[in-house]
Homo-oligomer: A and B are copies of this chain.
Amino acid sequence: MKKIETIVLVADLAGTAVFAAEGAISAMQGGLDLLGVMVLSFAVALGGGVIRDLLIGATPPNAVRDWRYPALAFLTGLLTFILHSEARTLPAPLLMAVDAAGLALFAVAGAQKAMSYGIGPFISTLMGTITGVGGGVVRDILLARVPMVLVADIYASAAFAGAVVLVVSRRFGLSPMAAALLGGAACFILRVAAVTYGWQLPKVTHW
């Protein structure tokens, strides 16, 4: 396996575990039963990657071709359900940082994979963004609420920024590993800073 594929695989699997746990937590917060916990673990963990793979023509998507993805999402969701008393006591800043890490992993893996499939640089940054936020959008659609990503302070923008840094770094000749680290760091730092300092995007206030 080429180095670049290993980076995408590791980032994808790590992001999958993080987002599966988050999906399980949202399901329990929403009062869903064990099946609902499983479904949301799957949807949040695999939704973004599946949408990316369908869009770039990488079918069947990884999550369907490779049993490790759904198995990992399944096990993480089950574990979070079993350990829910412990999960409940996790401090909010820790959860936020873990979520930002998952976002960074997916944004970088998504943009990198799109480039590997011959997608141009501009659209590869969009594919990275969709990979990062897609799972959360699917979760919010299933919970019948406006996707957090549409109303939240800088979230999709952080994924977009990370993907842009990765794509530009590759263009300037950086190695896949260096570009992935740089893009991931950009996304993570921007997201954490936005939450910490309450940064907002401009908005039209009175329509």
Interface of A toward B, CB cutoff 8 Å: 27-36, 39-40, 50, 54-57, 59-61, 64-65, 67, 70-71, 81, 84, 88, 117, 119-120, 122-123, 126-127, 137, 140-147, 149-151, 154-157, 200-204, 207
Contacts and interface: CB of A to CB of B under 8 A. Distances in A.
A35 B201 contact: yes
Identical chains in the assembly:
3
B120 A81 contact: no
A60 B119 contact: yes
A154 to B, nearest CB: 8
Given A29-B207, A67-B120, A141-B141, A57 B60 contact: yes
A132 B167 CA distance: 33
Contact of A64 (B119, B144, B150, B203): B119
A119 B59 CA distance: 12
B32 A151 contact: yes
Contacts of A50: 55
Given A29-B207, A50-B55, A71-B122, 8 more contacts: A30-B146, A33-B203, A39-B149, A55-B59, A55-B61, A60-B119, A67-B123, A84-B207
